[in-house]
Structure 1
């Protein structure tokens, strides 16, 4: 395949998956983000990278956000939200972190392909990104990309969508956001 055919196929896959996420689930997650004192993120592998980008963007838009395991991670409380992303909802580290957050009475939101996972049973909010996972569930959108690339890309794009919707809801001035951007670069 050519470059143009390949990127077009990837963009079409992302569009297919993102179009299946519901407005209700998205609004429920945004409400939880905006009502939380702090937002925490956990994921592993390439999902971790997507979540770290979202975490940084949330800080840019004035939401105190932390990635679990960071050196500056504060304590989580019942007034906080843990956002977990895991295609399968069964990855060992996210499962254990979700269990701990549940014990501490924090609100938990899961972004996953699998609605019947260990983490979904602990979650207050579930957002389904029905991209191909390692489980190969019947209702997942199949991908021509390697492994779970489609899920990881969709998580990042979904996070940017959430950020833009929060900017709109809070009527933030896009130019004023630069004051929160790193300036030691």
Structure 2
């Protein structure tokens, strides 16, 4: 029984990530690598995926911030905000994106809905073809709710990190210097 469901989940993620636009991901990487700081905002399980991505990029020496952390610095026009929101309609990320724009930051939306309310704040959009809470017909998943989007977002983050490692010719063994050591 496990094997059957494992195949369902892995195949859904594979099919979804195969259909992410490669040029959009390359632009995302360019913006991440040229930003002074990379801020992240999302809610719920999407936020958990974004926190993992922020931590992984931090391991690469990129300064990352999750919005709402007690040590969060000011965002500036040298920074980017990455918004994770499948629907692009979630209130808190919309509010934060509008604030980021008011300070001159660039906004990248990673989501499932090109026509969302987030579009008016978005400078770059990375489309993950998975269903969202308003449209479950798109790349319909057998998994509950928006699991496929959240999983694909997390794996996309690890793909981006690996692409940056390759692009910058980073020695992976040297990355332990950025790993938490108060454990």
TM-score, length-scaled by structure 1: 0.97
Q: Displacement, 1:132?
A: 1.2
Q: Displacement, 1:64?
A: 0.1
Cα distance in 1 for partners of 2:147, 2:22 equals 24
- Give the match for residue 56 of structure 1: 55
In the alignment, is residue 44 of structure 1 matched against residue 51 of structure 2?
Answer: no
- Give the match for residue 103 of structure 2: 104
- Give the match for residue 21 of structure 2: 22
- Give the match for residue 167 of structure 2: 169
Secondary structure of residue in 2 paired with 1:40: strand
Q: Displacement, 1:181?
A: 0.5
- Give the match for residue 74 of structure 1: 73
**Alignment coverage as a number of residue pairs:** 183
TM-score, length-scaled by structure 2: 0.98
Unaligned runs of 5+ in 1: none
In the alignment, is residue 148 of structure 1 matched against residue 146 of structure 2?
Answer: yes
Cα distance in 1 for partners of 2:101, 2:146 equals 27
Cα distance in 2 for partners of 1:174, 1:42 equals 27
Q: Displacement, 1:98?
A: 0.3
- Give the match for residue 2 of structure 2: 3
Cα distance in 2 for partners of 1:120, 1:64 equals 26
Cα distance in 2 for partners of 1:150, 1:156 equals 10
Q: Displacement, 1:105?
A: 1.0
Secondary structure of residue in 1 paired with 2:92: helix
Q: Displacement, 1:136?
A: 1.1
Cα distance in 1 for partners of 2:40, 2:77 equals 15
Moved over 2 A (4+): none
Unaligned runs of 5+ in 2: none
Secondary structure of residue in 1 paired with 2:65: strand
Q: Displacement, 1:12?
A: 0.3
Cα distance in 1 for partners of 2:175, 2:7 equals 31
